[in-house]
Amino acid sequence: MIAIASDHGGYPLKEHIKAYLAAKGITCQDFGTDSTESCDYPAFGKAAAQAVASGQCQWGIVICTTGIGISIAANKVRGIRCALCGDPLSASLTRRHNNANMLAMGAGIVGKNLAENIVDTFLNTQFEGGRHERRVNALMAIENDW
C-alpha cells in the first residue's frame, strides 16, 4: 500500500498518479487533499508520512507545486526519508543509496509522463545496503540527537 497526498497545487498530478498506479494493480491510501481549493501542505505531508512511519503503508508519494514544502513536512516525521525527485536518476539513486521511503515531486516541475517514470523507478529500485547502510543509519541517528 502506498500513502499518497498533495496540496491543491499537486492535486491534479496526485489524481493522475493514483489512477496510473491503480491500473497497475497498486493500491494507494489517499491522505488528501481532495480538490484544487487552496489548502496548507504540511497537514497532508504529515498524514502520509505518519502512515509510512507506522508501517500502515510501505511507501509514500507526496506532491505540491514544487515538491519542496511537502517534502520538508514529511521529513519532520520520525523515521521518514523523503526525497524530492525531478528525474528518474535521482529516484533510482535515492532508493539505492538513501533507502528513501517516500518520494516527493513538484507538479509544477514534472509533467505526467515524467512523473510516471519517476514513480516507477522509485518503486522498482532496491536499496543496495553495504556502505550505504552505515550512512542511512547515521542519518537516522540524527533524530535521536534532539
The dotted CATH code for 2-145 is: 3.40.1400.10
- Which are the catalytic amino acids? 64, 97
Q: In the prediction, which pLDDT does 137 show?
A: 95
User: What does pTM read for this prediction?
Assistant: 0.97
Beta strands in the chain (DSSP E): 2-6, 28-30, 59-64, 82-84, 102-106
What's the rounded Cα separation, in Å, for the pair 75 and 66? 15
Listed as ranges, residues in the chain with pLDDT below 50 are none
Q: In the prediction, which pLDDT does 145 show?
A: 85
Q: In the prediction, which pLDDT does 144 show?
A: 85
